[in-house]
Chain A
Amino acid sequence: MLFRVFAKDQLINLYDILAVNHIVGPVSKGVDRHGAPLYDFDFIYDFAELQLDYTATIHSLKRFVLPPRETLCTFDLQKDSWQKHVDFNAYKPTVYFGLHACDINALNKLDKVLIGNVYPDPYYAAKRKNMFIIGVGCTPQPFCFCKSMGTDSVLHGFDLFLTDLGDSYFAEIHSARAFAFMSSLECREPRHSEHLRFVEVNQERMNRFTCHVDTTDLTKILDLEFQAEVWQEWGRKCLSCGTCANVCPTCYCYGIEENVDLGLQHATKTKHLYSCNLIDFAEVAGGHNFRPESHDRLKYRYYHKHRGFVEAFEESLCVGCGRCGQSCLANITVPEVIASVRGEGANHA
């Protein structure tokens, strides 16, 4: 990896170089009822919209790589046959400007399932291969537990990663493309004092994490506590609204729907992201529902994230971004659920 340092006022030049592409980054979405700022990822058309010092975004990047609704193909229906048209819905390279380590790690995890398996998902891959990713160091929030999940730093899956040193950015260059862009900026190799400052800034960040999840032996504990009463208690709170999965950067479950147009000459196959918390997630042909109870559905979401995926890939599917807990109206948070399953803490439900 190569390192460079550049003055903060150079950032707009980097933006301008990249602005021939679509740019997605954190933007302001107003304030909440307590006056706290809200942020979300969105397309950016002006450098001034880019809020690199954002706390956390409401939704993950999924909107851009794994849209909630996506047309997989359309059909022209003829007398005794049909013509199928496939479009991967990726038209232009997109720059993702200002992703935190958790969200880059989330993409790396999705890659394992959606690109790395026997049947890669071409719709995801087409978008994923057209990304230029600029990471940026974050300020840990009270709900962030990425440190517990091992996703507080990122080693691959980005082109450039920026760390704020105060009056300058420390840039980790991870791709030839990024190196080419950086060569048009006024930047230089970091001095030894800046190496030290970089390490110091990262250490300061590490010390700011306040939220933790004990993952020791978690796969086994989840198996042991399959019948635990706490699942029922969380189930009674759960609204089965799927919000946790919809804001999650790594939930990828989906359903397929086929519809014929009104004119009966065309048809569309649409993919909808789904959530294992929704009541008919495990309903099969004939009408039987394998998980009619909300506590069962909630439990299986935890089993997929913290047990099944770990057994398959030796890492959790959760990146500890805390979005699910922040968005859950019933205040169901990963740290509290896991602590309760481990038999720790107060009775939360």
Chain B
Amino acid sequence: MTAKEHTYLGVPVKKPKVAFFEFTSCEGCQLQLLNNEATLVDFLALLNIVNFREAMSEQSDDYEIAFVEGSITRDDEAEQLKEIRARAQTLVAIGSCACFGGVNQLKNRFNDLAWVKEQVYGSHPIESREAMPLSAIVPVDLEIYGCPIKKEEVERVVTNLVLGKSIDYPKYPVCVECKANHNVCLFDLGQPCLGPITRAGCDAWCPSNRLGCWGCRGPAEKPNVRQLRQIMHEHGFSDEQMLDRLECFGGFGQYVSELKSASKE
């Protein structure tokens, strides 16, 4: 992948050496990276990819930026992540699993992990511990949220990384993008939705397709979870229904425990 020399306004732009890795995940986020054929060539040309199991067979350990998908559920994964951290100048967590533990962390809710393991794997011996986000093991420089990640957002982040521009995410909730898409509010249609407290940036992907938000991108800055709980109640949804969504991707940890204790009162 050594396409023509890249310049930005006449200034040569260095292609960073980039590696992609996955831990416990569905690898869907990495497949998202290969989506969007219209811009795929430009995307690949911007990077010097040295390791990407989903896309190529060559492998190298000499990289500057590591994109890591998945949560950590085994000791050897934790060790491998530490090695990646030591090699990479920039470690980017991609997707809800890497950022928050993702769907995998649902199992953490069970008090008895041995029982969970037996239910899922039967008598097959397999190592598996509580699912953790990357940031629980090593420092993470950048997080790209979503289940799956949005290719357009990755493209923006990568372009800004290459150009050395600052990288910003929306601090406001999904409602902003939902309204920008002229949707009817799903609460008005009788559906629960975490849009009012979830970080935007997905272009209200699910609500625009009439599916209430499940909070895969984690909380917006200073989300008013207490008020959303009241709104859920007013619309006939229980704490349990709200918790199902809050717990699904692992981004709302502290708010989940607050809601659970409020629910017991």
Q: How far is the CB of A348 from chain B (nearest CB, A)?
A: 14
Q: Bound state CA distance, A243 and B162, in angstroms?
A: 35
Return chain B residues, CB-CB under 8 Å to A77.
8-9
Interchain CB contact under 8 A, B227 and A29: no
Return chain B residues, CB-CB under 8 Å to A68.
179-180
Say yes or no: A279-B172 contact (C-beta < 8 A), given A59-B182, A239-B196, A264-B13. Answer: yes
Q: How far is the CB of B6 from chain A (nearest CB, A)?
A: 6
Chain B binder among A32-40, A199-207, A314-322: A32-40
Chain A interface: which size bin? 35 or more
Interchain CB contact under 8 A, B163 and A260: yes
Decide if B259 is an interface residue (CB 8 Å cutoff).
no
Beta-carbon contacts of A54-74 to B below 8 Å, as 1s and 0s? 000011000100001100000
Interchain CB contact under 8 A, B172 and A79: no
B182 touches which of A63, A237, A264, A329 (Cβ 8 Å) = A63
Return chain A residues, CB-CB under 8 Å to B159.
259-262, 264
Return chain A residues, CB-CB under 8 Å to B160.
260
Q: Bound state CA distance, A68 and B204, in angstroms?
A: 14
Beta-carbon contacts of B11-25 to A below 8 Å, as 1s and 0s? 001000000000000
Interchain CB contact under 8 A, A329 and B8: no
Interchain CB contact under 8 A, A262 and B39: yes
Interchain CB contact under 8 A, A264 and B8: yes
Say yes or no: A246-B176 contact (C-beta < 8 A), given A29-B184, A241-B196. Answer: yes
Interchain CB contact under 8 A, B7 and A264: yes
Interchain CB contact under 8 A, B13 and A58: no
CB within 8 Å of A: which B161-189 residues: 162-163, 165, 171-173, 175-176, 179-180, 182, 184-185, 187-189
Interface centre among B7, B227, B235 (most CB of A within 10 A): B227
Decide if A30 is an interface residue (CB 8 Å cutoff).
yes
Decide if B224 is an interface residue (CB 8 Å cutoff).
yes
Q: Bound state CA distance, A256 and B155, in angstroms?
A: 19
CB within 8 Å of A: which B67-88 residues: none
Q: Bound state CA distance, A212 and B183, in angstroms?
A: 29
A279 touches which of B7, B221, B227 (Cβ 8 Å) = B221
B10 touches which of A80, A294, A330 (Cβ 8 Å) = A80
Interchain CB contact under 8 A, A243 and B179: yes
Interface centre among B162, B165, B224 (most CB of A within 10 A): B224
Decide if A82 is an interface residue (CB 8 Å cutoff).
yes
A263 touches which of B42, B176, B228 (Cβ 8 Å) = B42
Q: How far is the CB of A25 from chain B (nearest CB, A)?
A: 15
A242 touches which of B46, B165, B179 (Cβ 8 Å) = B179
Return chain A residues, CB-CB under 8 Å to B176.
241-243, 246, 275, 278
Say yes or no: A32-B179 contact (C-beta < 8 A), given A239-B228, A240-B222. Answer: no
CB within 8 Å of A: which B209-234 residues: 220-222, 224, 227-228, 230-231
Binding site for B on A (CB under 8 A): 29-30, 32-33, 38, 40, 58-59, 63, 68-69, 77-80, 82, 236-243, 246-247, 259-264, 273, 275, 278-280, 294, 327, 329-330
